[in-house]
Amino acid sequence: MIAGYQYAGLWRRAGAMLIDISLVAVVFSCLLLGWIALTGEMPDWGSRRVNILIAGTAFIMIILMIVLDSLLQGTPGLQLMDCRIVDASTGRRINIGQSVRRSMSVLLSILPGLVGLVWISWDRRGQAFHDKLAGTLVVRNDDALKSLTELSRESR
């Protein structure tokens, strides 16, 4: 364990993922409603336009995830669940390269029946497959877990 940190568990990370998925659904719905307002028509779900809208939303969300993970140490879901992403070896903020590797390898955690995500339960550091590939950890960012010495250092 990196000194002063507790690893985020499966349920905390699942809650964060549900928050993030909900936010993506809201963004997609807003884009779809905007489309309907501009064109006056409901697009056919199998149409090329809807596929472009879905692909565009996914692309925007991946870019946002990369930027948020590297700059703010996590997506809104992770932030709301009091978690942050850190470098597995130093405990410091991850760089953009790690964020890209982490984001691009999420499919490897999801595709084989979610095994890469459920692995968090058995891994001693709570790492999913994409965390291992990127060299990252998701830790709790809870001041209640810190010692008085650490809290006094942060207030300076």
For 46-82, write each residue's pLDDT tens digit: 888 788 888 888 888 889 999 999 999 999 999 999 9
pTM over 0.85: no
> What is the per-residue pLDDT for 139?
94
DSSP strands (E only) in 2-156: 83-87, 136-140
Please, what is the average pLDDT of the chain? 86
> What is the per-residue pLDDT for 103?
92
The residue that leads in pLDDT, 43 or 102, is 102
β-strand pairing of 83-87 with 136-140: antiparallel
> What is the per-residue pLDDT for 146?
62
**Domain extents for the chain?**
10-154
**What is the residue type of 156?**
R
> What is the per-residue pLDDT for 117?
82
pLDDT at 2 over 70: no
> What is the per-residue pLDDT for 101?
95
Nearest to 120 by CA among 3, 15, 24: 15
